Chains A and B, each alone.
Chain A
Amino acid sequence: MSQETALVKKELPALSELYDVSNIETVFKKDQFNLLLNQQPEPKWILENKFAGNSKYIPIGVLETLLQRIFKDFRIEVMREGTMFNSVYVAIRLHYLHPISNEWNYHDGVGAAQVQTKSGASPADLASINNNAVMMALPMAKSYAIKDACDHFGKLFGRDLNRKETMGFGTDKNLDTESIYEELKSLFNEKKDKIPSSDFKEIEKSAESEFDFKKIKEYKRFVGLLKSF
């Protein structure tokens, strides 16, 4: 399909090409794991906050259960807390053990909650603060901070609940290229004797050359053909 005029084929590398090929299995697993984190949350987990324009949220209890189920090991570090205008705020660091890399990572989150004042009093009137107001607001701010940190994980943790513009998450399809390449190599060794001589050269070249992401369609093509022999 060559043309006299220069029809320049897309030369940008595929995302998968940027990864270290020797570490492809881990990359593939991480990609699959990210897919899990980007599943839609169960509708029954989602509640509406009537005090915040019916915005949707996942209760902290559900989020903590999810954290335990998915990461097995996590801890929350309160980095800072304080007052800001008529609110208290908390900044936390959510540490989690990544199940694929087995390394500790973290996401930061911030949350704030308004300190309740007596009915009719200005929210800025600190003299009218209710008893226990800070005691109520501070854990609330901490919960918001944890939710904020959890948002970074993906849709499953409620990231896009109140977003109009979202993008679907799919795995990088090229990442399973190597498993197809491995299948080709193994089928080639298994069926060497059954391959017609006129096809041997092409399949051998494909199966015995170094792994190449760009050859995914060729690998698939020859796997299909070898299965038919």
Chain B
Amino acid sequence: MGKILFNASSAGALWTEKKGSEFTETNKVRIEELISERDTGLNKNGNKVKWEGTQKPNELAELEAKRDATPELSDTAKNYVKRVWLKYEKGIVKNIKNKFLDKGLYQEEESISLLTEVEKIAYSKNEERKENDYFTGECDIFKDFGDKKIVIDTKTCWDAETFINAKPSLDNIIQGDVYMELWDCDEFHLKFCLVDTPEHLVQREKDLEKWKYFSGDMSDAELDLLEKQMEKIYAQIDKNLIYSNNDKITKEECIKTFVFYRDKDKYQKLVAKAKLGIEYYKTLSLNTKL
């Protein structure tokens, strides 16, 4: 078995917790409260409370067991490791292709240009893939400002509606954690961008709309009428997908930035998950029942 590397963009799956096993901040606070009650006989408000003969000792034991439990992979993480296994061991990779990804691929440089134009900073597309013992990744932009280094990932949104609702997903955040480690950076900037949709994708949208009404047995006159009726719809599709000629939209508002900072403890937890992932990987076979 060669070196198994998890891709930064999908490593979020490793981070997911098994249902009910997640040890939360609330759990942590509750343990502290319970220990204090047990040791002092006083609750957090300073009132005298009972300990013996209540459910509290059991609650504390359960929470401590949860805290000290050996980390486990969630089903999501296991499914992800299976996909990695299929890729490395059998060369099987599911081809995900949709209009959202298409636009992202075609307009990546356009989004970088938008950032440069608005922020007045020279950004170049990073072309280097980096890896360490567990992860591999290729960030969109690496920028060294001298006093700090940042990695940027651009997400080109499909349209104004997806842009207005765009928020960082767990995958986006973990991707940033991995990039910060791989590029030894202090900050990760996740930038959602709204740029024009390429002409061929706009045309595809128009064609799809037209096919809803088109019929092969239409006469020439009916086809002409259909084209005429479609004009309004085409104009709206243009408006929905092309922004550079819309005077109600400024370039500044076509960028939405979320900033994340490097957290070495969090990364170490991610490494622990990656190690679990590799252990699980070793147990897999194509006809696995795990």
Residues in B neighbouring A203, C-beta threshold 8 A: 122
Residue B7 lies at the interface, judged by CB distance under 8 Å to chain A: yes
Q: Indicate if the CB atoms of B113 and A198 lie closer than 8 Å.
A: no
Beta-carbon contacts under 8 Å, B112-158 to A: 112-113, 116-117, 120-125, 129, 137-138, 140, 143-146, 153-156
Residues in A neighbouring B122, C-beta threshold 8 A: 195, 199, 202-203, 221-222, 225
Q: Indicate if the CB atoms of A224 and B117 lie closer than 8 Å.
A: yes
Residue of B80, B116, B123 with most chain A CB atoms under a 10 A cut-off: B116
Pick from A4-12, A91-99, A107-115 the stretch touching chain B: A4-12
- Distance of B150 from chain A, by nearest CB (Å): 11
- Distance of A51 from chain B, by nearest CB (Å): 26
Residue B109 lies at the interface, judged by CB distance under 8 Å to chain A: yes
Bound Cα distance from A201 to B145, whole angstroms: 11
A1 CB contact (under 8 Å) in B93, B108, B113: B108
Residue A132 lies at the interface, judged by CB distance under 8 Å to chain B: no
Q: Indicate if the CB atoms of A197 and B146 lie closer than 8 Å.
A: yes
B105 CB contact (under 8 Å) in A9, A195, A224, A225: A9
Known: A198-B146, A217-B110, A218-B109. A5 touches B116 (CB 8 A): no
Task: Given contacts A202-B124, A217-B110, list 20 more A-B pairs with CB under 8 A.
Answer: A1-B9, A1-B108, A1-B154, A2-B9, A3-B7, A3-B10, A4-B7, A4-B9, A4-B83, A5-B95, A6-B95, A7-B105, A9-B105, A198-B121, A206-B124, A217-B109, A221-B112, A221-B117, A222-B122, A224-B117
Bound Cα distance from A109 to B136, whole angstroms: 61
- Distance of A14 from chain B, by nearest CB (Å): 13
Range for the number of chain B residues in contact with chain A: 35 or more
Residue B277 lies at the interface, judged by CB distance under 8 Å to chain A: no
Q: Indicate if the CB atoms of B121 and A199 lie closer than 8 Å.
A: yes
Residues in B neighbouring A119, C-beta threshold 8 A: none
Q: What sequence of 0s and 1s flags, for each residue 88-109 of chain B, a beta carbon within 8 Å of any chain A beta carbon?
A: 0000011111000100110011
Q: Indicate if the CB atoms of A225 and B116 lie closer than 8 Å.
A: yes
Residues in A neighbouring B80, C-beta threshold 8 A: 4
- Distance of B111 from chain A, by nearest CB (Å): 9
Residue A228 lies at the interface, judged by CB distance under 8 Å to chain B: yes
Beta-carbon contacts under 8 Å, A40-58 to B: none
- Distance of A5 from chain B, by nearest CB (Å): 5
Closest to A3 in B: B9
Bound Cα distance from A195 to B122, whole angstroms: 10
Residues of B within 8 A of A (CB): 7-10, 80, 83-84, 87, 93-97, 101, 104-105, 108-110, 112-113, 116-117, 120-125, 129, 137-138, 140, 143-146, 153-156
Q: Indicate if the CB atoms of B96 and A1 lie closer than 8 Å.
A: no
Residues in B neighbouring A4, C-beta threshold 8 A: 7, 9-10, 80, 83-84, 87
Bound Cα distance from A100 to B143, whole angstroms: 45
Residue A205 lies at the interface, judged by CB distance under 8 Å to chain B: yes
Beta-carbon contacts under 8 Å, A146-202 to B: 195, 197-199, 201-202
Closest to A229 in B: B120
A202 CB contact (under 8 Å) in B96, B123, B137, B138: B123
- Distance of A30 from chain B, by nearest CB (Å): 25
Residues in B neighbouring A201, C-beta threshold 8 A: 144
- Distance of B103 from chain A, by nearest CB (Å): 11
Q: Indicate if the CB atoms of A7 and B96 lie closer than 8 Å.
A: yes
Closest to B80 in A: A4
Q: Indicate if the CB atoms of A228 and B110 lie closer than 8 Å.
A: no
A to B CB contacts below 8 Å, 29 in the list: A1-B105, A1-B155, A1-B156, A2-B8, A3-B9, A3-B101, A4-B7, A4-B9, A4-B80, A4-B87, A7-B96, A9-B105, A197-B146, A198-B121, A198-B145, A199-B121, A201-B144, A202-B124, A203-B122, A206-B124, A217-B109, A217-B110, A218-B124, A218-B125, A220-B113, A221-B113, A221-B116, A222-B122, A224-B113
Bound Cα distance from A199 to B144, whole angstroms: 9
Bound Cα distance from A9 to B106, whole angstroms: 9
Closest to A217 in B: B109
Residues in A neighbouring B123, C-beta threshold 8 A: 202, 221
Q: Indicate if the CB atoms of B101 and A7 lie closer than 8 Å.
A: yes
Known: A1-B108, A199-B121. A224 touches B116 (CB 8 A): yes
Q: What sequence of 0s and 1s flags, for each residue 203-229 of chain A, a beta carbon within 8 Å of any chain B beta carbon?
A: 101100000000001101110110010
Closest to B119 in A: A225
